[in-house]
Structure 1
Amino acid sequence: MTFAFGIFDSFDLGTGTPGEVIDARLTLAVEAERLGFAHYHATEHHGTDLSVIPSPNLFLAALSQRTDRMRIGAMVYVLPAYEPLRLAEEVAVVDNLSAGRIDLGIGSGISPIELGYFGVAGDDARGIYDRSLVALLEAWTTGVLKHPEDPEREPATLSVLPVQRPYPPLWYASSNPRTAEWAGRNAVNFLGRWNAGEFVETVETYWAAWRDSQDDGTRLNAHVGMPRVGPTMSVLIGTNDAEAEDRFLAAQEFFATRVLKLWHDRGITGFDGAFDGTVMLERGTAIVGSADSVRDQLIAQLDQIDANMIEAQLYQGDMGLEESLANLRAFAGLMPGIRDHMGSRGIAG
């Protein structure tokens, strides 16, 4: 399996208008495909400037018409925020528009504030997620959706099914060994933050579960073969380490205002440390410096885990399009060397 590279994108408002952000991301994604990136994943957030594409499928539909090779998807669809029938239909349509290139990231949501906008209590989100996932996978497989929260509701026959059968490949984002065990057992593609090396145990848990489970067709992702596993991080490449670090800290400080606004509006500051640029550098969730320094830092992480991909956030905060394109191209310049260093990865011994 060839080592792969992807982009993780939050679509935060930055300093422009929503239309300018969306247009810039389309430009970035098209260039990423040209440069050999294999995946482009967008986040989902609601009621916050952390994302100006609260409905990822709208952006993905547009991107599907401007790309033809790169796999695209949401990382993740927040399942408790959806009417299951609508999501089942929309994902099927976007998979058709993209000729079968959708990656299906799934999650229960990390912000109880955002879930509250949909009338979902934080304590209920996991159960709704579990039931919705079962219903969606059954709907894409059989063509009939049975509502997971209302068994008395009449089942709906889908007029369109995904190109990828029985459904697009599943992806999950977490740094938690407990969820890694579930993902590994089901061969679900898995991404997570380094967190000062905590991701090492998470990846070990993933592959142990993958090895121990039986590939007898019961794995949720059994139809897609070898899963992708790897770290995701913010990356900024400059002409030297000091310049790159200064620029990252400024961009991250701006980005943090978007991430934390809903919490700060309610007087909650307990999450501030996770988005402090200096802390991120210390914990390896941000990789910053000259091209040589970034390459060495990435390889140092990869050499400690059995990974077969990296997913980088290359555009955030007050960065402009040209600056982000330069960052993208600098990162792409590192990809051949990292790929050669890693060789064929992904089958854990």
Structure 2
Amino acid sequence: MTDRVLMKGNEALAEAAIRAGCRHFFGYPITPQTEVSAYMAKRMPKIGGTFLQAESEVAAINMVLGAASTGKRVMTSSSSPGISLKSEGISYIAGSDLPCLIVNVMRGGPGLGGIQPSQADYWQATHASGHGDFFNLVFAPSTIQEMVNLTFTAFDLADKYRMPAMILADGMLGQMMEPVEFPEVQAHPIEKPWATTGHGGKRPHNIVNSLYLKPEDLEDLVRQRFARYEVVKENEVLVESQYTEDADIVVVAYGATARIVNSAVKSARAKGLKVGVIRPITLWPFPEKVIAQAADSCKAMLCVEMSMGQMVDDVRLAANGKVPVHFFGRTGGVIPTPAEVLAEIEKIAGGVQ
């Protein structure tokens, strides 16, 4: 690891991408992720990379499609409305079985909404990032250091499984500053025989495409892709659990909200309440088994989000009716406080004792 350095989240993520081997960035500015683009604009020319501010988000994601087809590590970043504009291109990338990294530093919505932190893009990231049958790898960091570490992981797994990966952060993580260390870069080249690179006539031409006019051909390909997704679900789930062994109440939260929840849970346990925490780090694949196991032993669950309730649906599916799953959220860019979360925990505790 390198020496610790104080960095803003957006800039730390951009530096991590460069150290992970990304040499091509295509984007368009939007608050609160603009520092990612600004950092790439400064650094990429100095390392022989490509930075291009496209004329729109639609253009940027299609440039990612083209660069990814050559097997190079490529990324784009945006914030909520910009990701919506990229959704068609994300589907094309998934349908072409191409790896890339997409960063969403979420802001309040719908529409232009506001520039304050939000988690209201969970459904979009995990279930509806574009049309058709496909999934993205989705990573949800809760610290700046984790933004750095997960950027390396996201590129590696995107390459391994030939699928888009997304870092789903929010304006709080993008704008705050924390000390970070960057892992030492070690080259782990992955063979990419599918890439559209020169080959000197040594193999047939590669064609990257997402169009299949015969329904049976498309169905076969989608089924093969979903078989690969099952491998991802079995092997790549990342989740953190605390105090769940004796918990009567288990709180589920991700990203920056999990930091707030941790403070509330520590206060609750100091008051003698048996409360645990589950923090999904991969939102897709979702830690269904961990939540199902917790539901076998606890009496209630509470899902806390900066939204009107989106991940709570997946928590309820995983709990499968074994325990009641409660929800508490703030939205529009309002950040919940530890005191508010603690009050919800105490309210639930009053009903389960």
Normalising by structure 2, we get a TM-score of 0.29
Asked which structure has the greater RCO (Cα within 8 Å, sep 6+), the reply is: 1
By percentage of residues, which structure has more helix?
1
Greater Cα radius of gyration, structure 1 or 2: 2
